[in-house]
Chains A and B, each alone.
Chain A
Amino acid sequence: KQEVTQIPAALSVPEGENLVLNCSFTDSAIYNLQWFRQDPGKGLTSLLLIQSSQREQTSGRLNASLDKSSGRSTLYIAASQPGDSATYLCAVKGNYQLIWGAGTKLIIKP
C-alpha cells in the first residue's frame, strides 16, 4: 500500500532564503508525482508534475526533482517571498488515484 510522507510538517524561514521541501513514497510503481499548493480555505493549485520517466521539472523559482529508486522527491523554492506562504502537498499517481502526503505548512517571514 502506497504511503506518502512529507517532512517537515511546518517550516518558517525569512524572506529571500532558498528552501527545500521533501516528499517520500513507499512504492516506486507510480505514473507521476505532482506538487500542489493550498492557501487557507482554498482549493489546490498545481505547481509541477513530474512523469515517472523524468528526473526534474522547473517553473520559475520552483524546481522539483524525482528519484523513483529511492522513493523521494524534493521541491526547491528559490528566493522565497511572503506570497509563497501556503501549505505544499505532494501526491503520487498510482493505478487510478492520487495518494497524498499530509503537507508542509510554509511561512515566509518578511
Chain B
Amino acid sequence: KAGVTQTPRYLIKTRGQQVTLSCSPISGHRSVSWYQQTPGQGLQFLFEYFSETQRNKGNFPGRFSGRQFSNSRSEMNVSTLELGDSALYLCASSLGRYDDTQYFGPGTRLTVL
C-alpha cells in the first residue's frame, strides 16, 4: 500500500506570493490533517478535512486555507506569504475516527525569501 505523498517536496517563494501544497492520502483514508513545523514553535495543527469538509481548524490566520477533493486528496493554500511562513508542512491521513493512527507524509519544505 502506497504511503502518504506530498508535492512538491521543496518550494522557494518570495514575500507576498501565494503557494499551494498537495497531499495524497493512503488509499481508503478519508481524513487529511495538515501541520506546520518550525524550530521555534514545533509542530502545530492547521486543519483537518474529512469527506471534503473541514472538520477542525487550528489557530492560524485566514491566509491559510485548504480543501479536499472527492478522492480524498487535499490541497493547502497560503496567500500573501510572510517570512514567518517558512516551515516544513506535513500532512497526515487516517481512516477518520478520532482514535485512529495518523500516517504522515515526508513534508513540503517551504522557504519564503
Residues of A within 8 A of B (CB): 31-32, 34, 36, 41-46, 49, 51-52, 89, 91, 93, 95-103
Contacts and interface: CB of A to CB of B under 8 A. Distances in A.
A93 B98 contact: yes
Nearest to B44: A100
A108 B99 CA distance: 32
A32 B104 CA distance: 17
Contact of A98 (B55, B102, B106): B102
A43 B105 CA distance: 6
Contacts of B98: 31, 93, 95-96
Q: 4 nearest interchain CB pairs?
A: A96-B56, A97-B45, A44-B104, A100-B43
A42 B55 CA distance: 27
Contacts, number: 53
Contact of A97 (B42, B58, B104, B109): B58
Nearest to B107: A43
A103 B109 CA distance: 19
Q: Looking at chain B's contact residues, is the secondary structure mostly helix, strand, loop, or mixed?
A: strand
- Interface size, B (range): 20 to 34
Nearest to B106: A43
Contacts of A52: 99
Interface in B80-113: 90, 92, 98-99, 101-107, 109
23 contacts: A31-B98, A34-B101, A34-B102, A41-B109, A42-B106, A42-B107, A43-B107, A44-B92, A44-B104, A45-B104, A46-B101, A46-B102, A52-B99, A89-B43, A91-B43, A95-B56, A96-B56, A97-B33, A98-B33, A98-B35, A98-B102, A99-B45, A102-B42
Interface in B1-21: 6
B42 A98 contact: no
